[in-house]
Structure 1
Amino acid sequence: MSEEVLDSQQRTDCPPEQVDGYEEGAGQQHENGEHVARIGEEVLSRLPDDLYIPPDALEVFLEAFEGPLDLLLYLIRRQNLDILNIPIAEITRQYMNYVELMRELRLELAAEYLVMAAMLAEIKSRVLLPRPSSSAEDEETEDPRAELIRRLQEYEQFKQAAEELDQQPRLGRDVFTAAVCAPECRPQTPPPDVGLKDLLTALTGLLQRAERYQTHSVERQAISVRERMSETLKKLPHDSYTPLGELFTASEGRSGVVVTFLALLELVRESLIELAQAEAFAPIYVRAR
């Protein structure tokens, strides 16, 4: 509590220990038996059952009243306290000290009491200002206390609704959405096995295609099976299949086809390549392992 509020306590001759700490629940007596408010010479040791005082509530210290500002508005609404006896300027001064104290603690609570102080100032100004004579019905509609009651009822409804909403489960605080994603599942269909009959059928077709080319009787260096195995592995990628026919060079003649075919058989035996065929008599594909 700031020094100005402590000074106001000394001016009202109210010891700090008599107003230090109030019970938060309504209808309960202070645990030390001390009073919770003072109205003139009357000391209150219990709060009304239908009044809720929030924690860190604003305390006002006046000549006619000492206690929470919520209780002051409650008594004015019930016409248990004359608003003409309430010094609005002193409430405003104590409120400014309270705002400075709550600036780093609970600013939203200070904003609520700013509305209360403004309502008190408006009501007292309307009571003090002269009003033209009118019928009793007009006086009743212009009664500032009735307006205060209406606003306080709305304020209590919104405050109660806010408390009920705060007790509901909150996303990110009490309830958390599932953030686990199922792993992507891609069906893997293994390629069908290639039998010896399929290889012989493919060889027959390659030999027939090689016979269509006429070769010149030119002496050339013989190609070994081991060399053709190395050349074949260099042509085959690891991530895709290559048609079997692309591995044969028709211009090499029958000897080139036979050497390449033997190289493929040797690579299959050593598990260096993989053969695949979608169905019977379908093209055969080769892939390096």
Structure 2
Amino acid sequence: MRENTIAHAEQAQASALARLYGEPLFELPADLYIPPDALEIFLEAFEGPLDLLLYLIRKQNFNILDIPMVPLTQQYMGYVQEIRSRNLELAAEYLLMAAMLIEIKSRMLLPRPPAAQEAEEEDPRAQLVRRLLEYEKTKMAARQLDMLPQDGRDFWTPQAFFDLQLEPELPSVSPDDLRRAWLAIVKRSQLMAHHTITREKLSVREYMSQVLRDLKDRPYAPFEALFRPELGLPVLVVTFIAMLELAKETLIEITQAEAFAPIYVMACRQSDGESEVSPAAMATAQA
């Protein structure tokens, strides 16, 4: 009994015209008002008159090489009548094709003169068939192209920036670089400072010659290797001034491969001891 009730309820639900607030509606209300624009056919889904013709031919399973013009023209004109009052710009394009269909239909219905029957006249539908076949090929090719992976839709191209310069640009040594290196040396020397106060005379000229002697047997030396922190802060200061004087006189060259890289010192020319120091450098050192 319960199964029969359930089956009867399901049958009633299936026969309902619609649902209103979840309840089945079996009859339309007498005062129901449907606006004229409630039901509207949108023909913008077709890409043009040829698309519409091809749709009608495939829908009715017509032979595209032997198109029955009478039913095709009637169906096409039915679509055209729907859009004449809604979209004039769109209707003009479809009306042009409608005129062509009517012309083909008329040429097929009118009897041909005897002279024309003897000659082989081209089928009036031939031009339309060629256009439809070419359009169908183009549409299928466009559909196949659309199925291919597209950049921005199916995948994204990776992008990476890299420098194409073959020769690296070496940074120039600035006074700030020398200052930071000097402060690092001073900081290390303070760890070895002692409280013995002595007065000693230090010669800049002597340490200029000492630096040149240290560079005599090797092409270059690290900046820190030319200092002797164990001799105290005054010796470090004099050695630093001596190196600045040698760089000023172009007797040594201070280089750095890149920013924050180790600083190296190299001699510009090879000669013995004190003869490398020019008179101008000695005058500056004595001053």
TM-score, reference length from structure 2: 0.36
Normalising to structure 1: TM-score of the pair? 0.36
Name the structure, 1 or 2, with higher relative contact order (CA <8 Å, separation 6+).
2
